[in-house]
Amino acid sequence: DAKTTQPPSMDCAEGRAANLPCNHSTISGNEYVYWYRQIHSQGPQYIIHGLKNNETNEMASLIITEDRKSSTLILPHATLRDTAVYYCIVRVLNTGNQFYFGTGTSLTVIP
Amino acid sequence: EAQVTQNPRYLITVTGKKLTVTCSQNMNHEYMSWYRQDPGLGLRQIYYSMNVEVTDKGDVPEGYKVSRKEKRNFPLILESPSPNQTSLYFCASSGLNRGIDEQFFGPGTRLTVL
C-alpha cells in the first residue's frame, strides 16, 4: 500500500470548517483513501473513505483531486469534540491486509 | 452492543514474564488485527488475521505471537516481555464482506514492562 504525508498539527476555530490535507502521490489505481480519527488515547474511529469521487457522510466530506495524488478531509463545522489525531490511509478495499496508519495530523479546535 | 473488548485494560509486569492480552469481538468479523501505539511513532500494526487459522505479520511483529483458533478471539502473546514493549495496544476487527472496510477498535491495553 502507498504511504501518505500529513502535516503534524493544525488548529481550527470552533464553528469553522477544518480542512485536513493528505498527500498520497504514489497511490495506485485500485487504492482507496481512508480517514480515521483518534480522540485522546481511545481506539481510532472510522470517518470516511473514497476512490476518486468526492464523498460525504454525516461526519465529514472527502475531496480527492483529479489525479488522486492528494485529498482533503473537511469537517464542515468543527466543534471542540473534533479535537483529535486524524489519520489518512491508502489501501486496496477489503483486502484485509496491512494497515499503515502513520502519525497523522493532530487537530486542535480552539474555542 | 457491537463491540471489541480487550483484557486487561492496564497491566504492569516484569521482564521475561509471559503474558497474554485477550481480544474478542461479537460482530462475526473475519479480519482482526493488533496495533501498538508509541509517542511520535503513531499506530503500528503488529499482526493481523484474515480468518480462523490465518495470521500474518504486520510492521512490528518481533517479540509477539498471535493465534486465531476461533473467529471471535485474537489473543496477543508476549512470550518474554521486554521494556521496549511498554506501549498502548489496540485490537481491531473488520468484516471483509461489508464493502466499507471499517475497522472497529477496542478500548486499548496499556502495558508497562519493568
Q: B40-71, pLDDT tens digit by residue?
A: 888 899 999 988 999 999 989 999 999 999 99
Nearest residue, CB atoms, A44 vs list B48, B101, B105: B105
CB atoms B96 and A49 under 8 Å: no
**Would you state the pLDDT for residue A94?**
61
**Would you state the pLDDT for residue B8?**
97
Mean pLDDT value across residues A81-106: 84
Q: Which residues of chain A lie closer than 8 angstroms to B54, CB-CB?
A: none
CB atoms A43 and B96 under 8 Å: no
**What cell does B97 get?**
464482506
Q: B72-81, pLDDT tens digit by residue?
A: 999 999 999 9
Q: A10-57, pLDDT tens digit by residue?
A: 999 999 999 999 999 988 888 889 999 999 889 999 999 999 989 999
Eight-state DSSP code of residue B106: -
**Would you state the pLDDT for residue A67?**
94
**Would you state the pLDDT for residue A111?**
95
Q: Which residue of B has its CA nearest to A106?
A: B42
Write out residues 90-109 of A within 8 Å (CB-CB) of B: 91, 93-94, 96-104
Q: Which residue of B has its CA nearest to A47?
A: B102
Amino acid at A102: G
Distance CA A107, CA A33 (A): 19
> Residue B9 above 60 pLDDT?
yes
What is chain A written as a DSSP string? Answer: ----B--SEEEEETTSPEEEEEE-TT--TTEEEEEEEE-TTSPPEEEEEESSS-EE-SS-EEEE-TTSSEEEEEETT--GGG-EEEEEEEEETT-------BS-EEEEEE-
Nearest to B94 by CA among A67, A43, A24, A72: A43
Tell me the HSE value of A28 on the side-chain side, using a 13 A CA sphere: 6
Q: Cβ of A39: how many Cβ atoms within 10 Å?
A: 13
> Residue A2 above 60 pLDDT?
no
Q: Cβ of A102: how many Cβ atoms within 10 Å?
A: 17
